């Protein structure tokens, strides 16, 4: 990022001094006119006056007050690549604020800064602040903002910009300025504002925090004008105050609709609950367990963008709970007569099968006559341009409300309707689901034993070897899943044990989001693990340095298949259809010749690293050593050469 030279702001200082004295000079276009609009008598030119002594230092500045506001919001960290358009604010954070609450964390790319905040919020449930230039910084950050938007995660972005053209230093400051800084990302942020006074900044800053946290959560943008940051606060300035922050309670669905859903669930032959972003907390998970056990419903946890059969998503439900049917999701959904989607972005994809052949086709994946129901706060929040809202779903009942917030009233409504007769009727169903779930897990274990000793290492073997080393720790899988093997072989019980994927499927999210999540996990003493794709890390590998610089403990285990392998498969599909060159699918997609040495890359940034490891028998000791490093408070990386899938 370009850095600008210091700028004299003499004109501005003069103006500030004048404002501080309560004076208001008439602008040139009004001079010579009276209040009545009649021409006044011409006046002789004034005698030149001696120039007043230039004011070169000032006391408390606007950005000091901005730090007061940020402190009032309780934001612990600011993630940023430094930039001159917010130099005032950065200096205030470092000196006025004492670089604590918030602490300034140096990031080596704005995309990494936003993704770190994204990952942090998925563990902690609160936003971090990201600082960026309103132009080049935001352009770098934009994909990560889109990910956070699609993932419904709060991220708080403050942009530096110089709106007043006459205040801009010629040159770089002009190309780093923009009329409407937030315009570029307005389609995928919840709210933005460009305050023109410090009091305006305070109110909008508090409002932005509140908006970002209200379900659906999402990113917000506040523009901190450079003049507003750097201008000293005049002694005569009217008192500034920071408004009280009161978060909005999440919206619950209408009580009549809740009662109707309860009736459907109690009387169902085979209710199925599909959860995507339903649980935000351990309490949310426990409520979903309570509901499922009350009606003996099968539960499927899904990723937001996956095609059928849907796969394991972020934590909503314990992976080895007898009612968890995620490993047999297609069969479970096909059996359901009442299928309920809880904060599921892609409900159409969950209840329909879809073929990606020349003639794309879909058909219902549910049984005939199944009642389809959705509960989502997404009903209350719509935008048009970006298509993350997925295909329209024809449902029988659509509850507009936050799923986690609605669960308590739904549980109560179910309890009121449940009778001893119904309880007896559903008991057998629970036993059948438990057996199906057990069998699915056993099949997964059997599948994992195939190619156990293969070189390169199978993804199943790698998942098993990592699990063997972390299972006795308080662990948190903050990125990656090794083609779904982690969810098949590991025992997930806590809400923080898997935080899902990027949201917008934009590569470059994984590593920085993992570091941000590990930052949040640090104070709880959790062992954070990233099953790290090679292509993802290569977008902005400097986040390894950030992890080392700030002693963020995290275990990176490379899922290094030396390719953008998803794209390899897409190219194979195209070539197969066209009956040509199916052996050339690696072109444009392989990351080899030369192969990248991730251990050396990590070591160069101060991270303990080993590898590349291609022999499965070398895995356990290397991972054990890396875990010891992480438990000592440092990041570590083990580079593992794995099979494509």
Partner 1 sequence: MLVRIAVAVLAAGVVAVAGQGPAPDGDVEKGKTVYVKNGCAGCHGLEGQGAPTSGPRITPPLPLEAFVKYIRAPRNQMPPYTAKVMSDEELKDVRAFLAARPKPAPSAVVP
Three-class DSSP category at 208: helix
Beta strands at 361-364 and 352-355: parallel, antiparallel or unpaired: antiparallel
Least separation in angstroms between residue 115's CB and partner 1 is 14
Q: Check binding of 492 to partner 1 (CB under 8 A).
A: no
* Nearer CB in complex with partner 1: 341/504: 504
Beta bridge mates, 555: 529, 636
CA-CA distance, 63 to 178, in Å (whole number)?
20
SS3 sequence of 517-554: HHHHHHCCCCEEEEEEEHHHHCCCCCHHHHHHHCCCCC
Q: Check binding of 429 to partner 1 (CB under 8 A).
A: no
* Nearer CB in complex with partner 1: 400/440: 440
Least separation in angstroms between residue 445's CB and partner 1 is 5
Least separation in angstroms between residue 642's CB and partner 1 is 10
Q: Check binding of 331 to partner 1 (CB under 8 A).
A: no
Q: Check binding of 394 to partner 1 (CB under 8 A).
A: no
Q: Check binding of 567 to partner 1 (CB under 8 A).
A: yes
* Nearer CB in complex with partner 1: 318/506: 506
Among 35, 360, 579, 594, binds partner 1 (CB under 8 A): 579
* Nearer CB in complex with partner 1: 263/580: 580
Among 316, 324, 458, 634, binds partner 1 (CB under 8 A): 458
* Nearer CB in complex with partner 1: 513/568: 568
Least separation in angstroms between residue 194's CB and partner 1 is 29
Q: Check binding of 187 to partner 1 (CB under 8 A).
A: no
Least separation in angstroms between residue 202's CB and partner 1 is 37
- Buried residues in 233-248 as b, exposed as e (16+ CB within 10 A): bbeebeeeebeeeeee
Q: Check binding of 448 to partner 1 (CB under 8 A).
A: yes
Compute CA 256 distance to the chain's CA centroid, rounded to the nearest angstrom: 33
Q: Check binding of 379 to partner 1 (CB under 8 A).
A: no
Q: Check binding of 319 to partner 1 (CB under 8 A).
A: no
Among 248, 427, 454, 587, binds partner 1 (CB under 8 A): 454
Q: Check binding of 468 to partner 1 (CB under 8 A).
A: yes
Least separation in angstroms between residue 150's CB and partner 1 is 11
Q: Check binding of 541 to partner 1 (CB under 8 A).
A: no
- Of residues 288-307, those binding partner 1 (CB under 8 A): 303, 305-307
Sign of CA dihedral 308, 309, 311, 313: positive
Q: How far is CA 470 from CA 91, 448, 452, 548, in A?
A: 41, 18, 20, 21
Joined together, the tokens standing for residue 30 give 């009004």
- Buried residues in 63-87 as b, exposed as e (16+ CB within 10 A): bbbbbbbbbbbebbbbbbbebbbbb
Instruction: Count Cα neighbours of 570 within 13 Å in the Cβ-side half-sphere.
Output: 8
Least separation in angstroms between residue 590's CB and partner 1 is 11
- Of residues 585-644, those binding partner 1 (CB under 8 A): 585, 643-644
Q: Check binding of 318 to partner 1 (CB under 8 A).
A: no
Tokens 């899922």 belong to 559
Q: Check binding of 308 to partner 1 (CB under 8 A).
A: yes
Determine whether 182 is exposed, middle or buried from the number of CB atoms within 10 Å of its CB (0-12, 13-18, 19+): buried
Joined together, the tokens standing for residue 210 give 């509140």
Among 135, 214, 459, 530, binds partner 1 (CB under 8 A): 459
Q: With contact defined as beta carbons under 8 Å apart, do 299 and 407 qualify?
A: no
Length of the chain: 645
Q: Check binding of 309 to partner 1 (CB under 8 A).
A: yes
Q: How far is CA 466 from CA 122, 520, 530, in A?
A: 23, 22, 11
Q: With contact defined as beta carbons under 8 Å apart, do 162 and 227 qualify?
A: yes
* Nearer CB in complex with partner 1: 475/485: 485
Among 86, 96, 485, 492, binds partner 1 (CB under 8 A): 485
Least separation in angstroms between residue 485's CB and partner 1 is 7
Q: Phi, psi at residue 302, to the nearest 5°? A: -125, 155
Beta bridge mates, 528: 476
Least separation in angstroms between residue 568's CB and partner 1 is 5
- Of residues 498-537, those binding partner 1 (CB under 8 A): 504-508
Q: With contact defined as beta carbons under 8 Å apart, do 170 and 233 qualify?
A: no
Q: With contact defined as beta carbons under 8 Å apart, do 515 and 547 qualify?
A: yes
Interacting residues toward partner 1 by CB under 8 A: 143, 303, 305-309, 311, 355-357, 444-454, 456, 458-460, 464, 467-468, 471, 483-485, 488-489, 504-508, 564-570, 572-573, 575-577, 579-580, 582-583, 585, 643-645
């Amino acid at each position: 990022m370009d850095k600008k030279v210091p700028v004299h702001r003499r004109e501005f200082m003069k103006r500030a001094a004048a404002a501080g004295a309560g004076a208001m000079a008439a602008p040139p276009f009004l001079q010579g006119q009276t209040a009545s609009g009649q021409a006044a008598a011409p006046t002789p030119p004034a005698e030149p006056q001696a120039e007043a002594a230039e004011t070169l230092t000032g006391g408390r500045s606007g950005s000091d007050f901005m730090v007061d506001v940020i402190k009032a919001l309780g934001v612990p960290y600011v993630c940023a690549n430094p930039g001159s358009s917010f130099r005032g604010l950065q200096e205030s954070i470092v000196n006025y604020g004492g670089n604590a609450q918030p602490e300034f964390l140096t990031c080596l790319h704005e995309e990494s800064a936003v993704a770190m905040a994204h990952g942090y919020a998925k563990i902690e449930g609160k936003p971090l602040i990201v600082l960026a230039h309103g132009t080049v910084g935001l352009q770098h950050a934009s994909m990560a903002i889109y990910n956070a938007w699609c993932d419904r995660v709060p991220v708080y972005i403050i942009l530096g910009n110089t709106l007043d053209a006459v205040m801009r230093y010629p040159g770089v400051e002009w190309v780093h300025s923009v009329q409407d800084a937030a315009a570029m990302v307005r389609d995928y942020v919840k709210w933005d504002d460009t305050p023109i006074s410090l009091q305006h900044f305070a109110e909008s800053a508090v409002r932005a925090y509140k908006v970002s946290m209200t379900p659906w959560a999402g990113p917000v943008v506040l523009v901190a004008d450079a003049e507003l940051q750097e201008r000293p606060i005049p002694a005569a300035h009217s008192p500034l105050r920071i408004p009280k922050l009161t978060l909005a309670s999440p919206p619950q669905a209408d009580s009549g609709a809740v009662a109707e859903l309860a009736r459907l669930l109690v009387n169902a032959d085979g209710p199925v609950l599909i959860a995507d972003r339903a649980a935000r907390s351990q309490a949310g998970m426990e409520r979903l367990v309570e509901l499922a056990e009350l009606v003996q419903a099968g539960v499927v946890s899904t990723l937001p963008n996956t095609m059928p059969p849907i796969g394991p998503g972020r934590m909503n439900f314990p992976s080895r709970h007898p009612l968890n049917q995620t490993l047999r999701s297609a069969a479970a959904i096909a059996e359901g007569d009442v299928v309920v989607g809880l904060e599921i972005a892609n409900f159409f994809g969950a209840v329909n099968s879809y073929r990606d052949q020349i003639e794309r086709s879909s058909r219902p994946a549910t049984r005939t006559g199944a009642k389809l129901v959705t509960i989502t706060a997404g009903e209350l929040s719509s935008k048009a341009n970006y298509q993350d809202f997925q295909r329209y779903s024809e449902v029988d009942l659509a509850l507009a409300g936050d799923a986690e917030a609605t669960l308590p009233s739904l549980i109560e409504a179910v309890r009121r309707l449940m009778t001893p007769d119904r309880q007896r009727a559903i008991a057998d169903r629970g036993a059948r689901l438990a057996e199906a779930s057990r069998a699915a897990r056993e099949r997964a274990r059997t599948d994992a034993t195939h190619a156990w000793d293969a070189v390169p290492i199978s993804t199943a073997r790698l998942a098993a070897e990592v699990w063997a080393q972390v299972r006795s720790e308080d662990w948190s899988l903050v990125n990656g899943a090794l083609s779904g093997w982690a969810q098949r072989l590991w025992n997930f019980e806590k809400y923080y044990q898997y935080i899902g994927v990027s949201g917008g499927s934009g590569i470059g999210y994984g590593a920085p989001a993992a570091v941000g999540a590990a930052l949040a996990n640090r104070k709880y003493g959790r062992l954070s693990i990233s099953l790290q794709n090679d292509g993802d890390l290569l977008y902005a590998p400097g986040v390894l340095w950030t992890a080392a610089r700030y002693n963020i403990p995290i275990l990176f285990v490379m899922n290094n298949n030396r390719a953008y392998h998803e794209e390899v498969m897409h190219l194979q599909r195209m070539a197969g259809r066209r009956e040509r060159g199916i052996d050339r699918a690696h072109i444009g997609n392989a990351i080899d010749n030369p192969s990248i040495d991730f251990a050396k890359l990590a070591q160069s940034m101060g991270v303990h690293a080993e590898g590349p490891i291609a022999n499965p028998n070398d895995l356990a000791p290397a991972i054990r050593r890396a875990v010891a490093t992480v438990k000592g408070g440092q990041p570590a990386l083990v580079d593992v050469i794995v099979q494509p899938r």
